[in-house]
Structure 1
Amino acid sequence: MMALPPTLTPKQHLVHHSAEQWEEFVYEWVMALKGVGYVDVVGMGGANDRGADIAAFLTAKKTDGAWHCYQCKHYDKALGPATAYPEILKIHSAVAEKKYQVLPERYVFVAPKIGGTLIQLLAKPSELKVTFFAWTEKNADKLLEEYGAAPLQRALDLAQQTDFSCFEAGNLDKILEQHASTPHHVRRFGTRMPNRPAREQAPAEPAPEEARYIQQLLAVYAEKWNGSAASLDEAGAHPKAGRNLQRQREAFYCAEQLRVFARDSVPPGTFESLQDDIYSGVVEVEERDFDLGYDRLHAVLEAARNMQLGSNILLSVERPDDRKGICHQLANEDRLTWVQEEL
């Protein structure tokens, strides 16, 4: 038998990212850091990024107040001082020229590989500062041509006042660990879905957000059993309607749990895409003529259970009641109707 090719690790995947994909990955990671106190995260990269690819704001003042800067670098070789020094100068120039009001409190270089020399310099800010100014002196003519004499001097004057301990390098292992908690990790790296939590029972009393689909079910029961089981109390006491209602509510809560799981585990819109696929597969059944809404309800649920779906990643964690519950979510939004008035 032929051996299957080895699966790439997330770190190996990142080596093959383009610069744009790398910046998207870093943005996803920084968004996951909102819990540390960021009020917003903005991608600012581009040809004129003014020294900041991604800005994370600690206050509503944005770059006029406390903020952090994440500079994304994706090269084949390890990031070294020769690449870092121009970026350090660029952020000082941007502040000196009032493009930003203040320097970021943290300036983080994020690259797949950080060279040992730069790591050592970042660990000793005083030496980083000395070597930075040695670099500016060595490249004075080129920098004068690029910035102009007065703007360059303003940037260097600001750098002289700066505590270079604000400059640091992101740890890729830690970044990947934190990224794994985001909804983007599975899609980006093709890793396994996290384990879905154990199923919980529906609460004894219906919640307000259940009102519409339960109202639709009560209409089904009233039609099916000649006006009986038209209220929750009557349905609960009915030998068949009560059991049916309980099963439908359990399915609804199963699908609601999948919705929450999707929110925390996969990219936005994944669950809604699954809902739309199921709706597309059952709406033709729902539109057929039936003698009773009860028949329409069960025909739709059966169609949802048996339909072939595409490649939605949530299908790998699907439970038997999820599709039935999604039908009730659709009924809750009046996208599906069981008892239909004659036209």
Structure 2
Amino acid sequence: MSTSERSSAFHTEPLFSELPKPSQTPVTVVSPMMAMPPTLTPKQILVHHSADDWEEFIYEWVIALKEAEYVDVVRMGGSNDRGADIAAFLTQRKTDGPWHCFQCKHYDKAIGAATAYPEILKIHSAIAERQYRVLPERYVFVAPKVGASFIQLLAKPSTLRAGFFEWAEKNAAKLTQEYSEGPLDRALDLARQSDFSRFEAGNLDKILKQHATTPHHVRRFGSPLPDRPARLPAPAEHAPEEARYIQQLLDVYYEKWGCPPTSPDAAHAHPKAGRNLQRQREAFYRAEQLRIFARDSVPPGTFESLQNAVYSGVAEVEEDDFDTGYDRLKAVLAAARTMQLGTNVLLQVVDPDDRKGICHQLANDDRLTWVQEKL
């Protein structure tokens, strides 16, 4: 074989001939979808509310002030609200006595004097025409956005008054057509005697801080629940509201260890029954603390929904055949500790003893029974 033939026979391509040049190397880009989406703040969420949702939010806020300031709060909104979307009463005389008015406005742009003047005329007209007996002591414009110049104007009641009458004079023809001459004159006469310091704008930061104390805040904004109060021990003395679930436990201990079924003291004195009874009472009171926490932190019905979810999960376990009520009790509590409970917002703060305690709440209502008659 010649040199040229050997060269041809053993010729191979360069080892790295198929690799791309450095400039051709593909680049992997992480998709933005892999990142967590930004969380909207409550202010940003409110901007996207509808007008009705905004009024409901303000109503929830004013309700939060009720215990400290008001005897009642009502929604008056509608096409004929006469300048009062939400009325808060300081006495049982309602709008015949001192009251506060909250006027809800939800626009894309910040509200200003042009929005306020028609409402100021409307509330004076409502009083002049005896729709309401007296002017509200406070008249609060509440909007997601309030113009800086309007805030400054509200800080100068005399300037606000002058601007209002300039607006009324400039729009006299249109207003006369809307109100008719007599009612318009009466409304403006009342406004001339009125104290314009009653008009103000709500501070959204303050409103949100106060709204956060209501049970509605978590639902509306998806915010984390507040921390639960420190755990308290079960009181030494049995309370009357414990009677039924305690009796159910005494029935268990009588069947299991022969403890007298009418004597909690005897159960407490028993080396095994006593420890068990103490644990069950601690769990019951833990669940009671959760119930009170829920009352103050989440919308009505949330805790009851959690109770129903626990019941739904353990009811079939409770219906099974067991040799003793003690076996049934243990099986139900074990199921409650591990079962899936859906998406209830309270699950953020629920612990295993809450689940056990809810079972005892259900037993307290005779929805669960430990010692059952054998059929």
Q: TM-score, normalised by structure 1?
A: 0.97
CA distance in 2, matches of 1:221, 1:334: 18
Q: Which amino acid in the other structure matches residue 57 of structure 2? A: F
Residue in 1 that maps onto 2:19: none
Match of 1:55 among 87, 93, 98: 87
Report the CA distance between 1:341 and its aligned residue. 3.1
Q: Which runs of 5+ in 2 are unaligned?
A: 1-29
Report the CA distance between 1:59 and its aligned residue. 0.5
Match of 2:170 among 138, 159, 178: 138
Report the CA distance between 1:339 and its aligned residue. 1.8
Residues 222 and 230, structure 1, Cα contact 8 Å, conserved in 2: no
Do structure 1's residue 43 and structure 2's residue 85 form an aligned pair?
no
Larger radius of gyration: 2
Report the CA distance between 1:73 and its aligned residue. 0.3
Report the CA distance between 1:117 and its aligned residue. 2.2
Match of 2:244 among 206, 212, 218: 212
CA distance in 2, matches of 1:240, 1:228: 14
Residues 321-340 of structure 1 aligned to structure 2 (within 5 Å): 321-340=353-372
CA distance in 2, matches of 1:293, 1:229: 13
Residue in 2 that maps onto 1:19: 51
CA distance in 2, matches of 1:157, 1:279: 65
Go from structure 1 to structure 2 and tell me whether the alpha carbon gap of 1:252 and 1:124 turns closer, same or farther (over 3 Å shift).
same
Residue in 2 that maps onto 1:69: 101
Report the CA distance between 1:224 and its aligned residue. 1.7
Residues 229 and 238, structure 1, Cα contact 8 Å, conserved in 2: no
Residue in 2 that maps onto 1:8: 40
Question: 227-236 or 248-257: which moved more?
Answer: 227-236
Match of 2:123 among 53, 77, 91: 91
Residue in 2 that maps onto 1:316: 348
Report the CA distance between 1:78 and its aligned residue. 0.5
Residue in 2 that maps onto 1:120: 152
Q: Which amino acid in the other structure matches residue 4 of structure 1? A: M
Do structure 1's residue 171 and structure 2's residue 215 form an aligned pair?
no
CA distance in 1, matches of 2:280, 2:113: 63
- Identity of aligned pairs, percent? 77
SS at match of 1:240: helix
CA distance in 1, matches of 2:228, 2:171: 57
Report the CA distance between 1:196 and its aligned residue. 1.2
Question: 28-37 or 169-178: which moved more?
Answer: 28-37
CA distance in 1, matches of 2:84, 2:196: 16
SS at match of 1:168: strand
SS at match of 2:271: coil
CA deviations on 1:255-298 (whole Å, 9 max, x unpaired) are: 01111111111111111110011111111222223232212211
CA distance in 1, matches of 2:334, 2:262: 24
Report the CA distance between 1:3 and its aligned residue. 2.7
Across the two proteins, how many residue pairs are aligned to each other? 343
Residues 229 and 241, structure 1, Cα contact 8 Å, conserved in 2: no
CA distance in 2, matches of 1:292, 1:277: 25
Q: Which amino acid in the other structure matches residue 39 of structure 2? A: T
CA distance in 1, matches of 2:90, 2:165: 30
CA distance in 1, matches of 2:130, 2:119: 17
CA deviations on 1:299-328 (whole Å, 9 max, x unpaired) are: 211111121110001101111100000010
Residue in 2 that maps onto 1:236: 268
Residues 117 and 167, structure 2, Cα contact 8 Å, conserved in 1: yes
